[in-house]
Amino acid sequence: MPDDTAANYRNDTLVLGISDLKRLRRERPLVLAKGKGVYVFDENGRDYIEAVSSFYCVGLGYSDPELVEAAIEQLRALPMYPSGAHRTVPVVMQLAEKLSALAPFPRARVTFATTGSEANDHVLKFLWFANAAAGQPQRRKIVTRKGSYHGSTVATTAMGGGARLHALFGIPTGDMLHVSQTVPLPGETDAQACDRLVEEFSACIQQAGPDTIAAFYAEPLSVSAGMRPPPTDYFARIGAICDLHGIRLIADEVVTGFGRLGTFWGSEFVGAKPALMTAAKNLSSAYQPISAIIMGEEFADALEMASDTEGWLPHNGTYHAHPVAAAVALKTLEIIERRDLVGDVRRLLPHWNAAIARLRAHPLVRGTRTCGLLAGIDLNDPAATGPATSLKVEGVAQHVYDAALDCGLVVRPLVGSLVLSPPLVITEAEIDELVVRLARALDMVEQARA
């Protein structure tokens, strides 16, 4: 019998992203072997509260038996069949119908991919394909916000990421225009911030030529840019400008979809009326990789017209709409509705907000923010100037991240701050325990600095 315990694997073979590759040679990474509810357990059986739900995605917590059953059932019935070439499988049709019914616009049509990055990448292809077929091949430019994250492919890195990331990978960014994130300037009111951001957006599209702009592409709330909710009228006003110029407003709901903010879609939370949306992560509670492009009728018709001119939609992928992933996603959506998880999140918010606010008393904490079941904790770090970003994390945030692991807690460090995004099924008692563990980690870092 081969010995397959993780302890017997070498640790210098695997290359891991957002990791120091040299460190991987000398130091074993944290190896997680199991999960249950909001907890994950490492190879030595030690528990950690996963306060980020594995990159904001395991909404139903770990090892939900119904999701496991759904996967097994589909594996038994038909483990794989690619959707495409005028063929599909029942569960994929069901999932498309379900998402269409849940979409915030009527008669939505849906297609699937594997990851959030892919969904966003494919939207760009669809936009360019549809615009060219509609006689507007010049309408290619995409306006996004600095510091947003839309994925790891070449095109989605160009969309978000920031100039440093573009330079590091030599990413072609020709069609991308970047405007400011919705971070208020010191002393600015909500209305002033809105005026400034809307004026900047208008100037950006006027300078490029409005008829060269395909879309304004935005996360309702950007976690990677420090989770700053937009000013109250931001999306309504930007949406009106988009409508005026035939620019599509696209919502990246990869993080914000399925209840994270206490509304089913993040677009509802921020008052955005997108022409189409992308979703992933909590769609399947991330037990299986699947993402969706959910199109409003206008865009779906434009894509169909492009298909007419060509005879078909020349786009497909082996794992898009994978039946096992679709079965898990369908079950996830059923559970979210049956258990009223979005209502649960709303009911949990007073407790969550109060628990996070308690951390403000800590000398290492400069401030806290919550938005739905998300929290941003700004740290007193003299080296971290400017807004939080997800670029290479150093300094206090990294020290707190390391200390939190020692205290049995996984948090997400950004530059100068931490993000928390626990499973949607977390309980009040678990929130309290999370805060106790985080306070302990903050104490450890504070004591080491003293």
Q: Which of 64, 252, 378, 446 is close enough to bind ligand PLP by CB under 6 A? A: 252
Q: Pick the closer one to ligand PLP by CB: 277 or 348.
A: 277
Stretch of 33-41, 66-74, 109-117, 406-414 lying at the interface with ligand PLP (CB under 6 A) = 109-117
- Residue selected from 89, 280, 341, 348 as contacting ligand PLP according to rule CB under 6 A: 280
Nearest residue to ligand PLP, by Cβ distance, number only: 116
User: Between 157 and 196, how does the x/- string for binding to ligand PLP read (CB under 6 A)?
Assistant: ----------------------------------------
CA distances from 419 to 151, 385, 411, 438 (A): 18, 17, 6, 12
Beta bridge partner(s), residue 410: 50
Give the pairing of strands 276-279 and 213-218: unpaired
3-state class (DSSP) for residue 378: strand
Of 144-152, 181-189, 351-359, 426-434, the window that binds ligand PLP (rule: CB under 6 A) is 144-152
Tell me the closest approach of the beta carbon of residue 401 to ligand PLP, in angstroms: 17
Is the Cβ of residue 227 or residue 431 nearer to ligand PLP in the bound state?
227
Q: Give me the helices (H) in 261-383, please.
A: 266-270, 297-310, 323-338, 341-358
Write out the H or E segment, with its range, that includes residue 445.
helix 428-449
Q: Which of 41, 55, 196, 313: binder of ligand PLP (CB under 6 A)?
A: 55
Q: How far is the CB of 286 from ligand PLP (least distance, A)?
A: 8
Going residue by residue from 66 to 105, which x/- string records binding to ligand PLP, judged by CB under 6 A?
----------------------------------------
Helix axes 234-245, 190-208, angle to 10 degrees: 20
State the Cα–Cα distance between residues 122 and 100, nearest whole angstrom: 18
The correct pick among 122, 139, 145, 150 for binding ligand PLP (CB under 6 A) is: 150
Q: What are phi and psi of 345, to 5 degrees?
A: -60, -45
**H or E element: which one contains 95?**
helix 90-102
What is the chain's length?
Answer: 450
Instruction: Say if residues 65 and 42 touch (Cβ distance below 8 Å).
Output: no
- CB of residue 149 to ligand PLP, shortest distance in Å: 5
**CA 450 to CA 345: how far, in whole Å?**
38
Task: Give least dist CB 151 to ligand PLP, A.
Answer: 4
Q: Would you say 35 or 266 has its CB closer to ligand PLP? A: 266
Cα distance between residue 304 and residue 307, in whole Å: 5
In the set 53, 74, 83, 115, which binds ligand PLP (CB under 6 A)?
115
Q: Which is nearer to ligand PLP, 173 or 202 (CB)?
A: 173
Strands (E), 73-140: 109-113
Instruction: Determine the residue type at 95.
Output: L
Q: Which stretch binds ligand PLP (CB under 6 A): 110-118, 198-206, 257-265, 412-420?
A: 110-118
Distance of closest approach, residue 194 Cβ to ligand PLP, in angstroms: 22
Please give the distance of CA 380 from its chain centroid, rounded to a whole number. 26
Interacting residue with ligand PLP among 35, 61, 104, 151 (CB under 6 A): 151
Return the number of the residue (122 or 369) whose C-beta is nearest ligand PLP. 122
In this structure, which amino acid lies at residue 62?
Y
> What six digits make up the tokens of 199?
């004026």
Member of 89, 221, 255, 418 binding ligand PLP (CB under 6 A): 255
Nearer to ligand PLP, 165 or 441 (CB): 165
Binders of ligand PLP in range 400-439 (CB under 6 A): none
CA atoms of 61 and 424, how far apart (whole Å): 7
DSSP secondary structure letters along 193-211: HHHHHHHHHHHHHHHH-GG
Measured distance CA(103)–CA(296) in Å, rounded: 8
User: Contact at 8 Å (CB) between 261 and 269?
Assistant: yes
Phi, psi angles (nearest 5°) of residue 420? -120, 140
- Stated as kind and residue range, the H or E segment containing 184 is none
Nearer to ligand PLP, 149 or 201 (CB): 149
Is 117 near ligand PLP (CB under 6 A)? Answer: yes
Q: How near is the Cβ of 152 to ligand PLP at its closest, in Å?
A: 6
In the DSSP assignment, the letter for residue 156 is: H
Write down the least CB distance from residue 57 to ligand PLP, Å: 8
How many residues contact ligand PLP, by CB under 6 A? 14
Site string for ligand PLP, 207-246 (x = CB under 6 A): ------------x---------------------------
Q: Residues in the site for ligand PLP, rule: CB under 6 A?
A: 55, 115-117, 120, 149-152, 219, 252, 254-255, 280
